[in-house]
Structure 1
Amino acid sequence: MATDQRFTGNAMNRDETPPGFPWQESPVRIFLSGDVMTGRGIDQVLPQHVDPEIYESYVKDARDYVRLAEKKNGRIPQPVSYAYIWGDALEVWRKMAPDLKIMNLETSITNHPEPWPGKPVQYRMHPANVAVFKTAGIDFCTLANNHTLDWNREGLLETLQTLRKAGINFAGAGENALEARKPFIHKTRNSRIIIFAYGSESSGIPGNWVATTTNSGVNLLPDLGEETLGMIKAQVKAIKKSGDVVVFSVHWDTNWGYEIPPNHRKFARQLIDEAEVDLIHGHSSHHPRGIEVYKDKLILYGAGDFINDYEGIGSYEEFRGDLSLMYFPEINPVTGKLISLKMVPMQMRNFRLNRASAADAKWLSSVLDRESEKFGTRVTLQEDHVLTARW
């Protein structure tokens, strides 16, 4: 058998593997995205939609977000198909053929009419529109974020029921603390991918959203201290077996800016060093942040938005929130080490994901390389406008 050329540089030595290990079939390829917000304006253009009334400071009708987008980039055909919003991403997924598609769902799926009291921004979409995720073949949603309970606990329960009925897996929220903490396990041909989903108050999650023994809610990190680390270490130890890839998906930090808090970097490294986590999937930032590969393990501090209805909103333009990345890490399940990382630049335009232009891909590559170099990782733009990581 010829040596698989993908196992070079950062992969383990072939001689270190168990006899008969299936080298040609061993890599695990995952798709990761940042925040997916299919409520408000997105919901209003889909085949079904909730009552457009919202309770924000400046916007009272979700259709205003549609008007803003159309004012900037032209008419959006309504209603759009469930495939429409994914646009060019569908072809990217077909070519990359990931073993698992993971996203952070920042939208309540409910018809419940009452938002969380005092919550300044509310995302919800009609339960029938869950078909949009089925169309994209999404396998898993993390729900430990600051929009899961936008429409109260009744809205959360309907979200959970709708996802279950649609056969879409989730973690990070539940009807009680036990369910909210439960990881998701995905079986591949040669290994398992285990996902733990947590949220942090630093991302704007209200403290009283935490799931308890008697209340539904999100799986909230108490802090980033040693006791919390020990708790996660025990969770991973209780379930991880040889050949498993453990993903720690966490909603943390602010929406804008490139600075990574030192305690986040320390905690991410501790998860790898002490808790046997193989990949940290961080999200909450509205734009991609710097990438670190620590001991050959991938750390995404902020994956950036993937789907949103911000088109036409004039703020923070310097961060180019309209640009996003489709992350495709390839991992050796024997060691949990990163083999390669490809990132496909996309742009949200007319509420649809489009392949980014050559100029936008170059800009995103330059920014990501600048921010990742601080952590010893370099980002390179390839001829096909795909970004790759070197470490």
Structure 2
Amino acid sequence: MAPPKHLGRLAEERRVRRAKEEDIAARDVSTLSEMDGPPEEAAPGIDGERRRGRGALSNAAGRFEPRAREAFDDGWQSLDDLPAFRTSVTVERARTIINRNESPDVGFDRSINPYRGCEHGCVYCFARPTHAYHGLSAGLDFETQLFAKADAPELLAKELARPGYEPRTIALGINTDAYQPIEREWRLTRRILEVLSDFGHPVGIVTKSALVLRDLDILAPMAERGLVKVALSVTSLDHKLARLMEPRAATPMRRIETIRQLSAAGVPTAVLVAPVVPAVTDAEMERILDAAAAAGASEAGYVMLRVPLEIRDLFKEWLLAHFPDRYRHVLTLLKELHGGKEYDSTFGKRMTGSGPYAWTLARRFEIAVERLGLNRRHTRLTTRAFTRPPRTGQQLSLFGEDA
């Protein structure tokens, strides 16, 4: 019995698409046969020892720079004397600290990012391209040349105290992790939480760090007042894979344990399977949700891998170095998610993608969430506790309003 005509047409379209993908990837994949050492050391000009503990493999100039730069060995071993990439922090004096957005596919309209750049080094981080606005690279510069908004807590207090301010939940650490390693020294996130607690202002936190547990003395009382929820982002439960993708973030099991301790302290917790990397981490979705639910998470979400601007080349470079056998397959799935493109920024599609592969992931997520009892109730934070504490020397109003 002959197959239906439409099935034959789909098979032919799939064959043509596969042939195109093979042509596109052939040049990159062919370079593997020319490598003398491990693929990871093939990044041009950046020796493995110099970037030890970092996620990106290269450090190309920012997209706004008039000149491109590339380290080049002239045969005199001049690159051997270059120092390893070290973390540096520059103080940034911001004029405001609350960022506003009108994106319809995120659950908040305002956020705070006390730091620019992120030492966690997640190779897929969607914030990497923002370093170009500072004349820096989205690669290793993003992980090593950081900025701290030292006066963020004071700016926040001023903005919240303005008479016309209307409280709504603030998302903390969305662009870059508010609990990245430099927070141990700078403590900006802790001081921001103290301000939010004083004002009775709701806040949602997303992090990959167990350092959030340091602030349980602030978070637990805020949770009792309905002012805080915390989401832990977990990409993989595989320790080795997580270290390749997120070299300076907490290990997967520490993140699961962080969910456990936050939940035990009464802080509403969620898990984000984010990002889902096609053909690399997608098989782990159910395992991650199982582990998080067992640890006490009550809510869950997921986000597909996004590769806008410089992230596309950084991710391809990383993928070719660590998973050359999956390189073509991953890119094929990415394009299937985005209608033939490697990335589609359209609202409503950029986080989840579309097509059969996206549909399958969504159904898997829904089935697992239903089985585990996640998302049956969503914690709604309150603005009823919001108040402007009196400033030093300020006379209180007879009628309970600001003087």
From the CA coordinates, give the structure whose radius of gyration is larger: 2
Give the TM-score normalised by structure 1.
0.38
**Higher helix fraction (1 or 2):** 2
**Higher strand fraction (1 or 2):** 1
